[in-house]
Amino acid sequence: MNPNLSRRRFIKAVIASGAAAATHAGMPSALAAGAADDATKGGVERLMSLNINGKIRRVDVLPQETLAYTLRYKLGLTGTKIGCNRGECGACTVLVDDIPNYSCSTLTHSVRSRGVLTVEGLQAPDGTLHPVQQAFIDELAPQCGFCTPGQAMAAVGLLKDNPNPTREQARQALSGNLCRCGAYDNYLNGVMRAAGGKA
């Protein structure tokens, strides 16, 4: 949590009441007053800063907006897929402070002041693929490829937490990601290869 935010009291902590959030976002006070009126009706769009793949992105976010929606439709980061949109498939998996989250079931406002990593942020600045991405290619893991960004993020999340997982631990870590093609073993081979073993 942002220490400044955690000390803010009541009205200030109320993000849907435009005044506080708008002030936070550096908007002129006249605009903020107008936003406060809107807030009581429930529908106000507001500016916030998000840390996505190490870059600070400024974006208007509705109070009820999900992270998957913000990423895909406001920031153009369409690598994150929306499959079920109900937290039941894993295609939308991103890392929030290095922990895998379903971005379809995470409010964008709950990740302010936290670090979000999406599949677009995996490769090195020079275009070199992340070891997990390369290992997925080497092991022919993706078939149709729709679940692949989610599988990759779950695998990266595992390796950040446990660089030397057993195959069973990898299986558990990727168990929240469905693959309709049924390429589970190939993904597991990829995770084990990326972890340093030879699959």
Contact residues toward another protein (CB under 8 A) are 1, 5-10, 13-16, 39, 42-43, 62-66, 69, 82, 85-88, 90, 93, 99-102, 104-107, 109-110, 154, 172-173, 175-176
Q: How far is the CB of 11 from another protein (least distance, A)?
A: 9
The residue among 43 and 196 lying less far from another protein, judged by its C-beta, is 43
The residue among 99 and 137 lying less far from another protein, judged by its C-beta, is 99
Q: How far is the CB of 68 from another protein (least distance, A)?
A: 9
Q: How far is the CB of 155 from another protein (least distance, A)?
A: 12
Q: How far is the CB of 87 from another protein (least distance, A)?
A: 6
Please list, in sequence order, all residues whose beta carbon lies within 8 angstroms of the beta carbon of residue 109, skipping any fewer than 6 positions away. Answer: 15, 48, 61, 63, 65
Q: How far is the CB of 193 from another protein (least distance, A)?
A: 21
Q: Where are the beta strands (DSSP E) in 126-175?
A: none
The residue among 11 and 137 lying less far from another protein, judged by its C-beta, is 11
The residue among 113 and 134 lying less far from another protein, judged by its C-beta, is 113
The residue among 98 and 138 lying less far from another protein, judged by its C-beta, is 98
Specify the residue for token string 């084990």.
192
How big, in percent rounded to 5, are the helix, strand and coil portions of the chain? 45, 15, 45
Rounded to 10°, the helix 148-161/131-138 angle is 130
Cα 187 to Cα 151, 167, 198, distances in angstroms: 8, 11, 13
Q: Are 135 and 170 in contact (CB under 8 A)?
A: no
- Determine whether 9 is exposed, middle or buried from the number of CB atoms within 10 Å of its CB (0-12, 13-18, 19+): exposed
The residue among 138 and 163 lying less far from another protein, judged by its C-beta, is 163
Q: Where are the beta strands (DSSP E) in the chain?
A: 46-52, 55-61, 93-96, 99-102, 115-117
Q: How far is the CB of 198 from another protein (least distance, A)?
A: 25
